Chains A and B, each alone.
Chain A
Amino acid sequence: MTYIPISPRERDEMLKTIGVKSLDDLFDAIPAKHRFPKLDLPKALTEMEAYQELSDIAQANENVRGDLISFLGAGMYNHYIPSVIDHMLRRGEFYTAYTPYQPEISQGTLQAIFEYQSLMSALTGMDVSNASHYDGATATAEAVSLAYAQFRGKRKKVLMSPSLHPQYREVVRTYTQGMELESAGDAESNLGLSPEAFANQVDENTCIVIVQYPDFFGNVYDYTKLIEASHAKGALVCIVANPTALAMYKTPGDMGADVVVGDGQPLGIPMWYGGPSFGFFTTRKNFVHKMAGRLVGETIDSRGQRAYVLTLTAREQHIKRERATSNICTNQGLLALASAIYLSVLGKTGLQQVANLCYQKAHYAARELNKIKGYKVSSQTFFHEFVLECPMPAAELNTHLLEHGILGGYDLGQDYPTLANHLLIAVTEMNSKDDIDALVEVLSEVDHE
C-alpha cells in the first residue's frame, strides 16, 4: 500500500496540465537502459500484516523489561522513563516538524531547545550548550575539532585516558583521520595512573585532554588538579560525563573543564538497541564561536514578544561550507526534547532520587558481590557501575548468567586483554534488591561448582 492521496482521475488531470501523457513520460532524462529497474524486494504488506511481522521480529529478542534481569551498562543504561515524555513526543507538532528555520511558526521547537540548552548548562555547570550532537562519542570527536580549530592545527596531540569509553576513542580516531593529529595516552599500560599522574603526559603539543566522569570503569575522580596541570601547559580539557551522575557529583564546570560532553540516553530515552539517543555538548562562553552545532538564542519579535531564533549560524556548514569546523546539519532534536521533558518532570528532587537509588543499589551490589569467595570489587569510589574481578573469564560467567535469565556485566576483556577476568557491572533504579540477590546467588554457585 502507499500513502498517496491522488485518485486516477486527478492524476490524469494533473498530467494534462503538465502536458505529458503518462507518469513514465516524466522520466525521459533518465538513461533509457537503466530506467525502471525491477526491484527484487518482498511484496507489499498491509498495515495489519506489517504490524504482525514487526511484532514477530521484536519478539525474537530477549528484552530487559520482562525477559532478562540486566546489569549491563558500559555507556547505555536501563532507566525508568516517565509516561508523560512519550505522550509529549507523540505530538505531531513536535515530531513531524523540521529544523526550525522559520521562527514565526517554530517557536515550540525553538523554546524547547532553548530550555534544553539551559537545563544542560545547569546540569554540567557550564555556560552554554548547543542543540545536540548525534551521540556521546561524536560529541567527543567534535570537542577535538573545537580544540584543533582553537589552536589552528598547531597543537597536534589528543591525549585520551585509557579509561575513556573504548568506542568513543575509536570514533575520535576515525574522525581525526584527515587532520594532522596524533591520538595518545590510552595504552593499556596507562590504566593504573591517577588523574594527576596522567596529567604528566600533557605537553605543549597537546590540544585537548579527554577524560571520563565517572570513567569507563565507574570510578569517580575529581579532575580539578588534572585540569589545572593541563591548563598550565595551555591544553583544553574535555570531560565526558554521565548525566545521571551529575545530579549527585561535583560539576565538571566547578572543576574548570573547558568542554563537557556525554550521551543523553540516561535522561529519558530508551536504549533502543543503541539509538537514537543524543550527545550533549556544553562549553565556556569564550568558545561559543568555535562550537559546532545549532544554537538557539533569545530575542524579541516585531510585536514585542519574547521569542527564540537559531543564532550564530555563520559558524555552520550552510554558510561557511568547506571552512566550517563541522559538517553537522541534522542533530537529535526530538531526543533532546525528550531529555528536557525528563529533567522538567523529574525536576531537582526526582533526578536526585534517581541518582541516589543508582548509588545505593550499586553499592549494595558491590558489597554483596565482594563477599563471594574468589570475587573482588576493584573500584573504590564509584557511582552506579563498578569492576568485579572474577575467578574465571568474564565471558564464561556471562554465558552461565544468561542461562539463569541474567544479562551479566560488560566483559572488559573485549577491550582490555589484561582484564579478561573482569566484569563491568551497572546497577540502576530498575534493579530491585531481589535482582541483585539473584546475581549474587548465581555467581556464588558458579564458584562452588
Chain B
Amino acid sequence: MNNVSTGLNASIVEPTIFDLSSPGRIGVTMPASDVPETALPAKELLRSELPLPELAEVDVTRHYMHLSKFNYSVDSGFYPLGSCTMKYNPKINEDTCRLPGFLFTHPLQPIETVQGNLALMYRLQEWLKEIAGFAGVTLQPAAGAHGEFTGVLMMRAYHKSRGDAKRVKMLIPDAAHGTNPASVGMMGLNVLTIPSDERGNVDLKALEAACDDTVVGMMLTNPNTLGMFDEHIERVIELVHNCGGLMYGDGANLNALLGIVRPGDLGFDVMHFNLHKTFAVPHGGGGPGVGPVGVAPHLVDFLPEPLVGIIEEGEDDLPPLYGYIKPAKTIGRMKAFNGHFGGGFVRSFTYIAMHGPDGLKDIAQYAVLNANYLQARLRDTYKIPYDRICMHEFVMEGRFEGSDVRALDIAKRLMDYNFHPPTNYFPLIVHEALMIEPTETENKDTLDAFADALIKIAEEAKSQPELLHNAPHITPFGRMDEVRAARELVLCCWLPENYDENA
C-alpha cells in the first residue's frame, strides 16, 4: 500500500482505524428517541460533515487487539525503566476502581450523597501524611509534574505572604528530572543548577555558595536519579533553611523510602507523591498519573482548594460528615473537579490498605535489595561511576573502551532478549547512561536472566558490534527514522479526498 499524501512508500503492518473504515458499517447502535421530535437548529449552525470512521464492533476489537500485541508491558515482562517505578499492578485494583458506586458518581453531587468517596479521599490524605511525615496533603494534582507546579506555587505564595519579594532563584541539582526546571520556568523564576560531588551527593560547597536571600528554595529528588540517598541530606536542608529557602522533595523515587524514612522528618517542607509509581496506579501507556502534594505545617494554609475535611464530627455509631474545605491562603484550584479519583485514589487506597505498615516497608526493602543485587552482578562488566550501596535504582555506563557501541545499541539489543530497556541517556551527568530500576516485584530468576543478557551483550559488543548497531532483530518493528518524522510532520491519518462523499 502506498500512502499518497506523504509519499510514504512503506508496507503497512496494521492499517489505521481510518484505513479500515467502510461507509455504512455500524458499531454500536443507540436506542430510538422516546420523546416528541424537535426540529434541528438552523443549518448555518450545523456541521456539514463528520469525518469519523465507520466500523463494526468486531473490526474495532480486532484492530485494538492487534495494536495491543505491538506493546511491551509490565504484564508481559521485565520493565526496568529507571525513575519510572514500573512495578506490577495488582489486578484487584482494577476491580475496586470499577465498583459502580465509584464509576457513576458525579463530582458535583451534594456531599451527603457521596460520603463513601469523601471518606476514601480523607483517609488517603491521612495515610499519605503519615507515610511521608507531613501536616497536610492535597490529592488534586493530576501527575508528578502537576504536583511540582503546585508545590512551587505554594513556595512562592509563602514567601510573598511574608512580604519577602526578592526571592527569585530555585536551586536544582544537575541530576534532576527535566520537569523540575520546567515547573520553575512556568513561574517565571530562575533556575540555578547545583553540581553533584564524586559520591553522587549534592556538592555542599556549591550549595553553600548559592544560598542567599534570593533563594526561593531547593528542589531535590532524594534518592536522586543516580539512585543515591544523599549522605548529607540534613546538612543540605539546613543550608537551604538557613538562608530562608524552602525544601521541595520530588517524590518520584519515594518507593525506596516507604517505612524507611519520612521526608517530612528530614525537614522537607513540601513534596509531591507519584501514586502511579509508588502506589501502583498503572502507567496506562503515558497516563493518567496522580500527583498529590504533602506539606509541613507552615504551608498548610496555601494548599490548593478544595481539600477534604470533616464538617461534623461523628458520634458513637454515627460516622463523621465529610465535605470540602478551603485553606485560608489557598493558591487556588489546580484542575477542575476533585482530582484523579477513580483511576487514581481508589487504586492507591486499595494498594496501601492491603500492604499496611509492614508491607510498605517490605516494598522499599525489596526494591533496594533487587537494585543492589543487579548492581553487584553487573559491576565487573559495566562501569558504575557512582559505586556504593544504591537505593531503588543505579546508573551504569553503556559504553566500552575502544568500542563504538553506545548505550542506545545496548538498549535496543536488550529487546532481542525480551526485556524492556532501562532509561537511557539520563541522568545527563553520566556518559551513555543506563538507569536501571528493577522494583520489588521481580523475582531472582528474572534479575539473573537480565544480568546474564547484559553480560552477554557486553561480549557481543566486542565480538559482533554490528549485531548491536542494527538491533533489535526479533521485535515486530525495527529502528525508526525519527528525523523523517520531525521533517515531514505527519500528525494525522491521511483521509482520501473523497472520504466523506463515499458515505
Binding stretch for chain B, among A67-75, A192-200, A201-209: A67-75
Q: Does A447 contact B (CB under 8 A)?
A: no
Inter-chain contacts of A37 with B (CB < 8 A):
133, 259, 261-262, 265
Query: Is B486 touching A273 in the complex (CB atoms < 8 A)?
Result: no
Contact A350 B28 (CB under 8 A): yes
Q: Does B401 contact A (CB under 8 A)?
A: no
- How far apart are A53's CB and chain B's nearest CB, in angstroms? 7
Given pairs A167-B333, A345-B60, 17 additional interface contacts (CB within 8 A): A4-B362, A18-B375, A29-B229, A46-B354, A62-B109, A105-B71, A106-B72, A138-B146, A270-B104, A275-B337, A297-B491, A300-B8, A301-B481, A327-B185, A343-B52, A347-B21, A363-B38
Q: With A and B bound together, what is the CA distance between A173 and B362 in angstroms?
A: 43
Pairs across A and B, CB under 8 Å, 13 listed: A34-B261, A37-B259, A42-B356, A54-B349, A76-B106, A94-B284, A95-B285, A98-B81, A272-B102, A272-B341, A275-B335, A305-B11, A328-B145
Asked if B317 is at the interface (CB within 8 A of a chain A CB), the reply is no
What is the 8 Å Cβ interface bit string for chain A, positions 83-96, against chain B (1 contact, 0 not)?
Answer: 01011101111111
Interface string of B47-63 (1 = CB under 8 A from A): 10011111101001101
B12 cross-chain contacts in A, Cβ below 8 A: 305-306
- C-alpha gap A249/B50 in the complex (Å): 10
Contacts of B38 in A (CB 8 A): 359-360, 363-364, 367
A276:B142 contact, CB within 8 angstroms:
yes
B365-A275 in contact (CB<8A): no
Known A-B contacts A36-B260, A95-B282; A311 and B482 likewise in contact (beta carbons under 8 Å) = yes
A448 CB within 8 Å of chain B: no
Stretch at the interface among B115-123, B202-210, B240-248, B455-463: B115-123
- B296 interface residue (CB < 8 Å to A): no
Given contacts A174-B153, A321-B181, whether A298 and B6 have CB atoms under 8 Å apart is yes
B496 at the A/B interface (Cβ < 8 Å)?
no
With contact pairs A35-B260, A306-B3, A327-B149 given, residues A347 and B53 touching in the complex (Cβ less than 8 Å): yes
State the CA gap A52–B148 with chains docked (Å). 35
A6 to B184, CA, bound (A): 41
Known: A87-B61, A250-B44, A433-B35. A167 touches B488 (CB 8 A): no
B285 touches A305 (CB 8 A): no
Chain A residues near B352: list those with CB within 8 A.
41
Partner of A108, one of B70, B100, B353: B70
- Closest approach, in angstroms, between the C-beta of B421 and any C-beta of chain A? 6
Say yes or no for A419: interface residue by CB 8 A criterion: no
Residues of the B chain whose Cβ atoms lie less than 8 Å from the Cβ of A210: none
Q: Which residues of B115-166 have CB atoms within 8 Å of chain A's CB atoms? A: 115-117, 119-120, 127, 130-131, 133, 142-146, 148-149, 153, 156-157
Interface centre among B35, B117, B142, B411 (most CB of A within 10 A): B35
Is B231 an interface position by the 8 A CB rule? yes
- Looking at B17, B183, B368, B472, which has the most chain A CB atoms within 10 Å of its CB? B17
Decide: A4 near B363, CB < 8 A? Known: A273-B107, A381-B45: yes
In this complex, which of A64, A129, A300 has the most chain B Cβ atoms within 10 angstroms of its Cβ? A300
Q: Is the CB of B477 within 8 A of A303?
A: yes
Complex contact A275–B35 (CB within 8 A): no
Q: Which of A2, A20, A127, A298 contacts B485 (CB 8 A)?
A: A298
Chain B neighbourhood of A19, CB < 8 A: 376
Is the CB of B383 closer than 8 A to any CB of chain A? Answer: no
Contact A57-B120, Cβ < 8 Å, known A4-B363, A271-B107, A306-B13: yes
Pick the contact of A138 from B95, B131, B153, B335 — CB < 8 Å? B335
Complex alpha-carbon distance, A307 and B485, angstroms: 10
Report yes or no: B30 in contact with A312, Cβ–Cβ below 8 A.
Answer: no
Q: Which of A91, A106, A346 contacts B27 (CB 8 A)?
A: A346
**Which of A13, A78, A167 is the one whose CB lies under 8 Å from B106?**
A78
Nearest chain B CB to A272 CB, angstrom units: 3
**Given A136-B336, A297-B491, A340:B441 Cβ within 8 A:** no
Q: Name which of A6, A37, A347 has the most chain B CB atoms within 10 A of its CB.
A: A347
- Provide the residues of chain B in CB contact with A14, threshold 8 Å: 369-370, 372-373, 444
> Which residues of the other chain, A, contact B146 by a CB distance below 8 angstroms?
134, 138, 328
Q: How many residues of chain A have a CB within 8 Å of chain B?
A: 211
Q: Report A86 CB to chain B, min CB distance, Å.
A: 8
Query: Chain A: which residue is nearest B112 at the CB level?
Result: A402
Chain B CB count within 10 A is highest, among A5, A63, A65, for: A63
Task: Tell me the complex Cα distance, A37–B145, Å.
Answer: 28
Contact in complex: A301, B337 (CB < 8 Å): no
Say yes or no: B99 contacts A58, CB within 8 Å: yes
In contact, B286 and A131 (Cβ under 8 angstroms): yes
Verify if B431 is at the interface (C-beta below 8 Å from A).
no
CB interface residues, B 1-60, toward A, < 8 Å: 3, 6, 8-14, 16-18, 21, 25-31, 33-38, 40-41, 44-47, 50-55, 57, 60
If A54-B349, A317-B178 touch, whether A275 touches B415 (CB-CB below 8 Å) is no
Is residue B318 contacting chain A, with contact meaning CB distance below 8 A?
Answer: no
Instruction: From the candidates B96, B370, B426, B493, name the one contacting A118 in the complex (CB within 8 A).
Output: B493
Q: Are B52 and A330 in contact (CB under 8 A)?
A: no
A128 within 8 A of B: yes
**Interface membership of B188, Cβ < 8 A:** yes
B381 at the A interface (CB under 8 A): no
| Docked-complex contact A58 and B443, CB < 8 angstroms | no
State the Cβ distance, B275 to closest chain A Cβ, in Å: 11
- A50 and B353 contact, CB distance less than 8 A: yes
Q: How far is the CB of A120 from chain B (nearest CB, A)?
A: 9
A106 touches B71 (CB 8 A): yes
- A99 near B286 with CB under 8 A, answer yes
Beyond A37-B259, A270-B104, A360-B38, whether A177 also contacts B187 by CB under 8 A is yes
Decide yes or no whether B331 CB sits under 8 A from chain A: yes
**Interface-forming stretch among A226-234, A331-339, A385-393?**
A331-339
The answer to whether A299 and B441 have CB atoms under 8 Å apart is: no
A345 CA to B370 CA in the complex, in Å? Answer: 43
- Of the listed stretches A155-163, A288-296, A371-379, chain B binds A288-296
Rounded to whole Å, the gap between the CB of A269 and the closest CB of chain B is 9
Chain B nearest Cβ from A95, distance in angstroms: 5
Please give the distance in Å from B49's CB to the nearest CB on chain A: 9
Cβ of A51 within 8 Å of any chain B Cβ, yes or no, is: yes
A330/B350 in contact, CB under 8 A: no
B426–chain A nearest beta-carbon distance, Å = 8
> Nearest A residue to B102 by beta-carbon distance?
A58
Give the distance in Å from the alpha carbon of A51 to the alpha carbon of B99 in the complex. Answer: 10
Cβ contacts under 8 Å, B148 to chain A: 327
Contacts of B484 in A (CB 8 A): 299-300
Interface set, chain A 266-292, CB cutoff 8 A to B: 270-276, 278, 288
B213 to A: closest C-beta gap in Å: 20
- A111: B residues at CB distance < 8 A: 14, 16, 67, 70
**B75 adjacent to chain A (CB < 8 Å):** yes
Please name all residues of chain A whose beta carbon is closer than 8 Å to the beta carbon of B70 when the two chains form the complex. Answer: 105-108, 111
Task: State the CA gap A29–B223 with chains docked (Å).
Answer: 10
Interchain nearest-CB distance for A242 vs B (Å): 13
Are the C-beta atoms of B334 and A171 separated by less than 8 Å? yes
Q: Are A2 and B362 in contact (CB under 8 A)?
A: yes
Q: How far does the alpha carbon of A99 sit from the alpha carbon of B481 in the complex, in Å?
A: 19
**Residues of chain B with a CB closer than 8 A to A331's CB:** 143, 286-288
- Shortest CB distance B287–A (Å): 4
Within the complex, which residue of B285, B365, B411 is in contact with A99, where a contact is CB–CB below 8 Å? B285
- Nearest residue (CB) in A for B333 is A170
Q: Which residues of chain A have C-beta atoms less than 8 A from B55's C-beta?
A: 344-345, 347
B270 CB-CB contact with A under 8 Å: no
Q: Which chain B residue shows the least CB distance to A319?
A: B178
Q: Which of A170-195 contact B (CB under 8 A)?
A: 170-171, 173-175, 177-180
Could you tell me if B337 and A381 are in contact, using CB atoms closer than 8 angstroms?
A: no
A314 CA / B142 CA spacing, docked (Å): 23
With A23-B365, A135-B142, A273-B114 in contact, do A326 and B376 touch (Cβ < 8 Å)? no
Q: How far is the CA of A106 from the CA of B285 in the complex (A)?
A: 9
Asked whether, in the complex, the Cβ of B28 is within 8 Å of the Cβ of A58, the reply is no
Q: Which residues of B contact A263 (CB under 8 A)?
A: 336
Task: Choose among A304, A333, A361 the residue that contacts B33 (Cβ–Cβ < 8 A).
Answer: A361
